[in-house]
Copies of this chain bind each other. A is one copy, B any other.
Amino acid sequence: MLNGERKIPRPLRWAIIGGGSLSQVGYKHRSGALRDNTAFQLVASAFDIDAVRGRQFGVNLGLAPARCYDNYQQLLEEEAKREDGVEVVTVATPNGTHYEITRAALTAGIHVICEKPLFFTTAEAREIKALAEQKGLIVGVTYGFSGHPLLMQMRAMIAKGDIGEVRMVELQYTHGFSANESADKFSEAQKWRVDPKIAGPSFVLGDIATHTFYISQLVLPDLPIKTLLCDRQSFIPSRAPLEDNAMVLMHYQGGAVGRMWASSINAGSMDSQSIRVIGSRASLEWSDYNPGELKYEVQGQPNQILHHGMPYLDESALADERLGALHTEGLAESWANIYLKFAIAISASQRGDRQTLETLIYPDINAGLEGVRWIENCVRSADNGATWVTYE
């Protein structure tokens, strides 16, 4: 169980690029990183494309004015001059800038934590992966809800054979907040998401479905995709070619099949993501709408509901628990868990602790690369008439 005690020798000096006062996601990064003040310390920022607004925001958060920078270039340049310069930077900008900022930060010798989808292409992701390895630096990807303890439980139960042989993976991340066009026009935080130049080759596949895809990889680490078919729509025509709805079919190596439904036009729905893994003996199901429950349904037996924080859970799940059974945990705890693992990885990297680096489970550069790869395959299928493509 986590209670804020330090897991690394000292907090890391951390900066954030993007995620300013108009951002929806910036607060999730700060909440996650600074949960206990024992993993990260926020020391610098380049919060906003509007430099004045960004500086003011930094000051309002308690940052030293001198370290509230106008842009990421300035941040990297000035911090490089300091003895106590930043060690790790979070990239919470629109997708189109992830690649260049990440490359610049790594080149400057700084660890990176980056929003999803990581980049536009797998070529970029592979290049950055090579760069990070060469530099000995960590790249973490903020698949936010993937830090929930019950996903570790799901992973452990599947690994132990509790559901038998995996037959089907049912994935969904849908909501209705883009059911009409107005959001695209008036919300700064929304507008760029449907502009291919800034968002990249997809809207909902990258914006939301990559979260759930990563969760499927987290709980099913040994289930590679063989072929895939993606059928995508732009119900708001101005969004084309970017999709606001996508239906994906997957064939995994070994015979299992899968589905993903990603949508931002699921009108009226507050449900967000869910995963159901069906085995030959039982199924496991989890949704971030009610994240403290894990359904375990053994064919022919009473259905079971496992609750977070309970002693009967796997030790890997209990290790990431924060509040304990009875006390609803949510998104913020998951982000805090991920950020803590980023800190552990970075600290291990700094101290040359190979063993930690090899065993720690967290969304790393490979997870980011796999997300980009999945989108790339989906888009290739969709653009080819929603036909089956071999997973490349």
Chain B min CB distance to A48 (Å): 13
- Is A267 within 8 A of B280, CB to CB? yes
Give per-residue flags for A6-29: 1 if the beta carbon is below 8 A from chain B beta carbons, else 0. Answer: 100001000000000100101110
Q: Please tell me if A184 contacts chain B, counting CB pairs below 8 Å.
A: no
Q: Please tell me if A270 contacts chain B, counting CB pairs below 8 Å.
A: yes
Q: Please tell me if A348 contacts chain B, counting CB pairs below 8 Å.
A: no
Q: Please tell me if A352 contacts chain B, counting CB pairs below 8 Å.
A: no
Roughly how many angstroms separate A204 CA and B153 CA in the complex, as a whole number?
32
Roughly how many angstroms separate A177 CA and B2 CA in the complex, as a whole number?
21
- Residues of chain B within 8 A (CB-CB) of A57 are 5
Q: Please tell me if A298 contacts chain B, counting CB pairs below 8 Å.
A: yes
Roughly how many angstroms separate A329 CA and B332 CA in the complex, as a whole number?
7
Give per-residue flags for A298-312: 1 if the beta carbon is below 8 A from chain B beta carbons, else 0. Answer: 111111111100111
Query: B-contacting residues of A (Cβ < 8 Å)?
Result: 2-6, 11, 21, 24, 26-28, 30-31, 34-38, 42, 57, 60-62, 163-164, 167-168, 170, 175-177, 179-180, 229, 231, 233, 235, 245, 247, 249, 255, 257, 259, 261, 263, 265-270, 272, 278-283, 288-291, 296-307, 310-312, 322-333, 385-388
- Is A279 within 8 A of B267, CB to CB? yes
- Is B332 within 8 A of A323, CB to CB? yes
Q: List 19 A-B contacts (CB under 8 A).
A: A2-B27, A4-B30, A5-B61, A27-B322, A31-B36, A38-B60, A167-B265, A176-B299, A229-B231, A231-B249, A235-B280, A265-B280, A267-B283, A270-B307, A300-B310, A302-B305, A302-B310, A303-B307, A386-B388
Q: Which of these, B27, B163, B332, B388, contacts A332 with CB under 8 Å? A: B332
- Residues of chain B within 8 A (CB-CB) of A42 are 37
Roughly how many angstroms separate A326 CA and B145 CA in the complex, as a whole number?
12
Roughly how many angstroms separate A37 CA and B323 CA in the complex, as a whole number?
20
- Residues of chain B within 8 A (CB-CB) of A298 are 267-268
**A31-B36, A332-B333 known; 12 other A-B pairs, CB under 8 Å?**
A2-B27, A27-B322, A36-B61, A37-B42, A177-B325, A249-B386, A259-B259, A290-B290, A296-B302, A323-B332, A327-B330, A330-B333
